[in-house]
Amino acid sequence: MLLKTEKILNDWTDYNKHLNVAYYVLIFEKASEVILNKFDMGSVSARKDKKSTFTIETNNIYKNEVKLNEEVDIFLTYFDHDEKRIHYKMSMVNKIKKHVSATIEVLSIYIDLSKRKVVNFEDNKKKMMDNFIKENLLRFEKNDLVFKEKLKKNLTKNN
Protein backbone atom coordinates (compact mmCIF):
# COMPACT_ATOMS: atom_id res chain seq x y z
CA MET A 1 0.00 0.00 0.00
CA LEU A 2 1.51 3.31 -1.13
CA LEU A 3 1.62 5.82 1.72
CA LYS A 4 3.66 8.72 0.34
CA THR A 5 6.10 9.85 -2.35
CA GLU A 6 9.04 12.14 -1.55
CA LYS A 7 11.61 13.91 -3.70
CA ILE A 8 15.07 14.06 -2.12
CA LEU A 9 16.00 17.64 -1.27
CA ASN A 10 19.50 19.12 -1.22
CA ASP A 11 19.29 19.78 2.54
CA TRP A 12 18.67 16.07 3.09
CA THR A 13 21.94 14.95 1.48
CA ASP A 14 25.31 14.65 3.19
CA TYR A 15 28.95 15.03 2.15
CA ASN A 16 28.74 11.62 0.44
CA LYS A 17 26.17 13.15 -1.93
CA HIS A 18 23.42 10.79 -0.90
CA LEU A 19 20.49 10.83 1.50
CA ASN A 20 21.70 11.33 5.08
CA VAL A 21 20.66 8.54 7.44
CA ALA A 22 18.57 10.90 9.57
CA TYR A 23 16.40 11.80 6.58
CA TYR A 24 15.55 8.18 5.83
CA VAL A 25 13.93 8.17 9.26
CA LEU A 26 12.24 11.53 8.58
CA ILE A 27 10.74 10.26 5.33
CA PHE A 28 9.50 7.09 7.00
CA GLU A 29 8.09 9.13 9.90
CA LYS A 30 6.14 11.37 7.50
CA ALA A 31 4.72 8.27 5.82
CA SER A 32 3.78 6.70 9.15
CA GLU A 33 1.48 9.66 9.81
CA VAL A 34 -0.66 8.51 6.88
CA ILE A 35 -1.35 5.14 8.48
CA LEU A 36 -1.69 6.55 12.01
CA ASN A 37 -4.25 9.09 10.80
CA LYS A 38 -6.18 6.28 9.11
CA PHE A 39 -6.71 4.76 12.57
CA ASP A 40 -7.30 8.11 14.35
CA MET A 41 -3.97 7.93 16.17
CA GLY A 42 -1.99 10.67 14.43
CA SER A 43 -1.55 14.38 14.99
CA VAL A 44 -5.28 15.18 15.05
CA SER A 45 -5.90 12.58 17.75
CA ALA A 46 -2.95 13.85 19.78
CA ARG A 47 -4.39 17.36 19.83
CA LYS A 48 -8.09 16.54 20.07
CA ASP A 49 -8.27 13.31 22.09
CA LYS A 50 -4.90 13.45 23.85
CA LYS A 51 -4.13 9.96 22.52
CA SER A 52 -1.17 9.09 20.34
CA THR A 53 1.57 6.54 19.76
CA PHE A 54 5.18 6.54 20.90
CA THR A 55 7.73 4.58 18.91
CA ILE A 56 9.65 2.29 21.24
CA GLU A 57 11.79 0.30 18.78
CA THR A 58 12.84 0.47 15.15
CA ASN A 59 14.89 -1.74 12.90
CA ASN A 60 16.30 0.14 9.91
CA ILE A 61 17.95 -1.55 6.94
CA TYR A 62 19.69 0.48 4.24
CA LYS A 63 19.98 -1.40 0.94
CA ASN A 64 20.65 1.09 -1.87
CA GLU A 65 21.75 4.70 -2.09
CA VAL A 66 19.22 7.45 -2.62
CA LYS A 67 20.58 10.60 -4.25
CA LEU A 68 19.60 14.23 -4.68
CA ASN A 69 16.40 14.80 -6.70
CA GLU A 70 15.51 11.11 -6.83
CA GLU A 71 11.96 10.24 -5.85
CA VAL A 72 11.05 7.45 -3.49
CA ASP A 73 7.73 5.78 -2.78
CA ILE A 74 7.01 4.62 0.75
CA PHE A 75 4.92 1.47 1.01
CA LEU A 76 3.35 -0.13 4.05
CA THR A 77 4.33 -3.79 3.77
CA TYR A 78 3.11 -5.18 7.10
CA PHE A 79 0.76 -4.17 9.92
CA ASP A 80 -0.49 -5.84 13.11
CA HIS A 81 -1.45 -4.89 16.66
CA ASP A 82 -2.30 -6.17 20.09
CA GLU A 83 -4.22 -4.40 22.87
CA LYS A 84 -1.77 -1.50 23.20
CA ARG A 85 0.97 -1.92 20.58
CA ILE A 86 1.17 -1.53 16.82
CA HIS A 87 3.77 -3.25 14.70
CA TYR A 88 4.37 -2.28 11.10
CA LYS A 89 6.99 -2.27 8.38
CA MET A 90 7.56 0.12 5.50
CA SER A 91 9.74 -0.02 2.41
CA MET A 92 11.33 2.87 0.54
CA VAL A 93 11.37 2.14 -3.20
CA ASN A 94 13.26 4.21 -5.76
CA LYS A 95 10.56 5.47 -8.13
CA ILE A 96 12.69 5.15 -11.30
CA LYS A 97 15.04 2.25 -10.49
CA LYS A 98 12.27 0.28 -8.74
CA HIS A 99 14.61 -1.22 -6.15
CA VAL A 100 14.16 -1.15 -2.39
CA SER A 101 16.41 1.52 -0.93
CA ALA A 102 15.56 0.96 2.73
CA THR A 103 13.11 -0.61 5.14
CA ILE A 104 12.01 0.26 8.62
CA GLU A 105 10.19 -1.96 11.08
CA VAL A 106 8.45 -0.14 13.92
CA LEU A 107 6.98 -1.10 17.28
CA SER A 108 4.89 1.62 18.93
CA ILE A 109 2.76 1.85 22.05
CA TYR A 110 -0.55 3.67 22.51
CA ILE A 111 -0.41 6.55 24.98
CA ASP A 112 -2.87 8.68 26.91
CA LEU A 113 -1.03 11.99 26.62
CA SER A 114 -2.93 13.59 29.50
CA LYS A 115 -1.50 10.96 31.88
CA ARG A 116 1.62 10.05 29.87
CA LYS A 117 0.69 6.39 30.39
CA VAL A 118 0.31 3.39 28.11
CA VAL A 119 -3.35 2.51 27.53
CA ASN A 120 -5.34 -0.03 25.55
CA PHE A 121 -6.79 0.88 22.17
CA GLU A 122 -10.45 1.83 22.17
CA ASP A 123 -12.76 -0.76 20.60
CA ASN A 124 -13.44 1.40 17.53
CA LYS A 125 -9.71 1.69 16.81
CA LYS A 126 -9.19 -2.05 17.25
CA LYS A 127 -12.05 -2.66 14.82
CA MET A 128 -10.57 -0.23 12.26
CA MET A 129 -7.18 -1.93 12.50
CA ASP A 130 -8.68 -5.43 12.33
CA ASN A 131 -10.71 -4.51 9.25
CA PHE A 132 -7.65 -2.99 7.61
CA ILE A 133 -5.62 -6.12 8.31
CA LYS A 134 -8.37 -8.35 6.95
CA GLU A 135 -8.61 -6.27 3.75
CA ASN A 136 -4.84 -6.19 3.19
CA LEU A 137 -3.58 -9.45 4.65
CA LEU A 138 -2.64 -11.01 1.32
CA ARG A 139 -0.43 -8.02 0.50
CA PHE A 140 1.57 -8.14 3.73
CA GLU A 141 5.11 -9.49 3.72
CA LYS A 142 5.63 -11.44 6.93
CA ASN A 143 9.22 -12.52 6.37
CA ASP A 144 12.19 -10.94 8.15
CA LEU A 145 10.12 -9.35 10.93
CA VAL A 146 12.25 -8.66 13.99
CA PHE A 147 9.48 -7.50 16.35
CA LYS A 148 6.72 -9.97 15.50
CA GLU A 149 7.04 -11.86 18.78
CA LYS A 150 6.77 -8.67 20.83
CA LEU A 151 3.03 -8.40 20.34
CA LYS A 152 1.30 -9.82 23.40
CA LYS A 153 -1.49 -11.90 21.96
CA ASN A 154 -1.94 -12.37 18.42
CA LEU A 155 -5.56 -11.27 18.42
CA THR A 156 -5.63 -10.76 14.70
CA LYS A 157 -4.53 -14.30 13.81
CA ASN A 158 -2.42 -12.90 10.97
CA ASN A 159 0.76 -14.68 11.79
Cα separation, 108 vs 8, in Å, equals 26
Cα distances from 109 to residues 51, 91, 144, in angstroms, run 11, 21, 21
Q: For the chain, what is the domain count?
A: 1
| pTM listed for this prediction | 0.91
Q: Is residue 60 a part of any domain in this protein?
A: yes
Q: Is residue 158 a part of any domain in this protein?
A: no
Helix (H) or strand (E) holding 33: helix 21-38
Q: Is residue 21 a part of any domain in this protein?
A: yes
What's the mean pLDDT in 63-89? Answer: 97
Cα separation, 70 vs 83, in Å, equals 39
Q: Is residue 129 a part of any domain in this protein?
A: yes
CATH code at position 96: 3.10.129.10
What's the mean pLDDT in 15-41? Answer: 96
Residue-wise pLDDT for 77-86, tens only, equals: 999 999 999 9
Q: Is residue 87 a part of any domain in this protein?
A: yes
Q: Is residue 68 a part of any domain in this protein?
A: yes
Q: What is the pLDDT of residue 90?
A: 98
Q: Which domain holds residue 92?
A: 2-150
Q: Is residue 53 a part of any domain in this protein?
A: yes
At 98, the pLDDT band (50, 70, 90 cuts) reads very high
Q: Is residue 32 a part of any domain in this protein?
A: yes
The percentage of the chain sitting over the pLDDT mark of 90, rounded to a whole number, equals 91
Is the predicted pLDDT of residue 155 greater than 50, yes or no? no
